[in-house]
Amino acid sequence: MARPIYRTSARPLRRALERLYDGGMRLPRLDVGQLRFALHPASGRLYVTLAQTKRLGTIMRNGIFKPVEDITPTENATVLTVLDDILGAVKTLSAFTPSPKCAVCGIPLGHAIDRTRGIGDKCWRKGEFWRVEKRSSGAGTRSSKLAKRRKVRPK
């Protein structure tokens, strides 16, 4: 029986980790709690591991997640949920951690802005993580502005 594959929205994360690699980071990764998303620079794949010991699967360049055969349904659901909003998960974990560390390089976060983001300022700028953020509110304001412009003015 063939293993299931899942289409994910991991391309922005992969691009951010590639920018970190181009900026000089040797093996770029992003830690979200026990999950680690590590970039393999030669192939462009992301490897997903749990607690740095158990391999959970691979995310290909086109965003397809291929889990390993012995992954449990709970682990699979966790990976897919985190991939749906990866920076939201990083922010949430950072908010509930008493002494948060950068999800990319592991340095303790000192500034309040870095603590709310969960990623240090240097890594945030190098990886251009603002491109990974979901901007659902921006789309709503843009469409409402366009709707206001289309209204017919009374004569």
What are the pLDDT digits (tens) for 108-145?
Answer: 998 888 888 899 999 888 888 877 776 544 544 555 55
- 155 band by pLDDT with thresholds 50, 70 and 90: low
What pLDDT, on a 0 to 100 scale, did the predictor assign at position 12? 86
Element (H, E) at 74: helix 73-84
Contact indicator for 126, 23 with CB cutoff of 8 Å: yes
Render pLDDT for 4-45 as a digit per residue (tens, 0 to 9): 888 888 888 888 899 999 988 888 999 998 999 999 988 889
Q: pLDDT tens digits for 69-83?
A: 999 999 999 999 998
- Rounded mean pLDDT, 85-98: 88
pLDDT value at 68 more than 90 = yes
How big is the CA angle at 43 (ends 37 and 47), to the nearest 5 degrees? 20
Q: Rounded to 5 degrees, what are φ and ψ at 133?
A: -60, 145
pTM of the model: 0.78
Q: Domain locations in the chain?
A: 6-149
> For residue 70, what is the DSSP state?
T
Q: What is the pLDDT of residue 147?
A: 55
